[in-house]
């Protein structure tokens, strides 16, 4: 006797179905939200029309008419507003990306240092956290800006490091290579070396999981990146010309530089956010059962290997979610840079509002920029969190 397949289950589309009621409730909620947004937009546009206030984003194609002191792309005052906003967005991203990298490194070192066997190291890490996380970030930005613009020597008499790096009230000047094809190939080679380093790290982890024998990872990875860059540099003709800064009577000429505003924003955000990241790392490490460290010690792993190979990988499932919040806070706190004159997207928007009166449009641009960067950061960290999650059998 052959078994017959069960008839397909029919979907119940009546109001007695919980799924149908859920869809209706969601549709009603979305409809109410859309109606509210339409009402606010319509009411705002009508009030602006009655008062004779212009609206629209057509001003973005007109000439900006103001200069910007911090540039990552070529820009002049005759360029349109959209390019000025692009400069501000790039300045914001530069602070956010560099700040996230430095915050991760500093916060992780301080968090791990809280578990050091050395009482002095533990005390310094604890003092750092308590000092910087309890001082408002805006006050820290102002303090760093005051230090850089008041206590450092004048640009005509800068502090020098080997005659190559100069630090003064005008900022930090440093040498840069004259860009040629060799530098581009070196960058491509370094990227290829980074891919090989990633493959080597995966191979080392797989071998450690299978045999329990660790392989060195950091130094070989650095060597692969440097070797890749060197190969690309040689293939590009090995260019060796540098643009060196030189101290003049009034200022430092040549090379490249970081302005006091950029340095102040970066230091303030990094030192402030790293104090919270350190606590996140400390809590993640403390959540790992002590037996894991004892088992790793029984296998003969050194304390550094225990932390890197056993404790931190298990602590990541606790560290990553709150770490995402700190990255988002750093990015959004970069808007405070307007207080010390750093030309980020908020500063550019304020200038555009004063010149055009398009407050709603400029605020909408600011909201769109921070919403996009925050969602991108969250998406990337959620992906990494999924990859780092402990896989249960």
- Verdict on whether the full-model pTM lies above 0.95: no
Measured CA to CA, the distance from residue 88 to residue 60 in angstroms comes to 14
Say what the pLDDT of residue 121 is: 92
CB 89 within 8 A of CB 369: yes
The answer to whether the beta carbons of residues 342 and 267 sit under 8 Å apart is no
Distance CA 42, CA 275 (A): 45
Q: What is the pLDDT of residue 385?
A: 84
Per the CB < 8 A criterion, the answer to whether 251 and 170 are in contact is: yes
DSSP, residue by residue, 359-392? HHHHHHHHHHHHHHHHHHHHHHHHHHHHHHS---
Give residue 2's pLDDT: 54
pLDDT of residue 298: 81
- Residues of the chain with pLDDT below 50 are 1
Start-to-end CA distance of the chain, whole Å, equals 38
Could you give all domains of the chain from N- to C-terminal order, each with its CATH number?
81-151+258-388 (1.10.3720.10)
Bridge partners of 161, per DSSP, are 165
In angstroms, how far is CA 231 from the centroid of its own chain? Answer: 30
Phi-psi group of 279: left, alpha or beta (phi > 0 → left; psi -120 to 50 → alpha; rest → beta): alpha
Taking only the tens place, the pLDDT of each residue in 15-29 is 677 777 888 889 999
Phi-psi region of 375 (alpha: psi -120 to 50; beta: other; left: phi over 0): alpha
Nearest CA-CA partner of 265 in 102, 374, 110, 111? 102
Write down the pLDDT at residue 391.
62
């Amino acid at each position: 006797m052959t078994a017959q397949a069960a008839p397909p289950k029919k979907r119940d589309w009546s109001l007695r179905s919980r799924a149908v009621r859920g869809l209706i409730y969601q549709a009603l909620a979305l409809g109410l939200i859309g109606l509210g947004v339409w009402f606010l937009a319509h009411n705002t546009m009508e009030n602006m029309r009655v008062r004779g206030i212009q609206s629209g984003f057509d001003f973005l194609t007109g000439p900006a008419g103001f200069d910007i002191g911090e540039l990552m792309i070529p820009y002049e005052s005759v360029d349109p507003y959209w390019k000025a906003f692009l400069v501000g967005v790039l300045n914001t991203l530069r602070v956010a990306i560099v700040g996230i990298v430095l915050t991760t490194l500093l916060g992780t070192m301080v968090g791990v240092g809280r578990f050091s066997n050395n009482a002095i190291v533990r005390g310094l890490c604890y003092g750092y956290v308590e000092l910087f996380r309890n001082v408002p970030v805006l006050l820290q930005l102002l303090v760093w800006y005051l230090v850089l613009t008041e206590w450092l020597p004048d640009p005509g008499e800068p502090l020098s490091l080997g005659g190559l790096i100069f630090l003064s009230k005008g900022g930090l000047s440093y040498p840069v290579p004259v860009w040629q094809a060799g530098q581009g190939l070196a960058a491509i080679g370094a990227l290829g070396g980074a891919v090989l380093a990633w493959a080597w790290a995966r191979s080392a982890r797989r071998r450690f999981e299978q045999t329990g024998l660790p392989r060195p990872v950091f130094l070989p990875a650095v060597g692969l990146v440097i070797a890749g860059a060197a190969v690309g540099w040689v293939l590009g003709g090995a260019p060796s010309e540098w643009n060196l800064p030189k101290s003049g009577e009034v200022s430092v000429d040549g090379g490249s530089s970081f302005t006091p505003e950029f340095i102040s924003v970066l230091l303030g955000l990094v030192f402030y956010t790293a104090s919270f990241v350190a606590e996140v790392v400390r809590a993640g490490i403390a959540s790992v059962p002590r037996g894991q460290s004892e088992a790793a010690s029984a296998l003969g792993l050194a304390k550094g290997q225990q932390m890197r190979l056993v404790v931190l990988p298990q602590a990541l499932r606790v560290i990553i979610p709150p770490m995402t919040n700190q990255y988002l806070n750093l990015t959004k706190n970069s808007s405070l840079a307007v207080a010390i004159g750093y030309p980020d997207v908020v500063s550019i928007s304020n200038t555009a509002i004063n010149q055009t009166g398009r407050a709603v449009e400029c605020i909408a641009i600011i909201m769109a920029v921070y919403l996009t960067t925050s969602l991108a950061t969250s998406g990337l960290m959620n992906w990494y969190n999924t990859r780092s999650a402990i896989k249960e059998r």
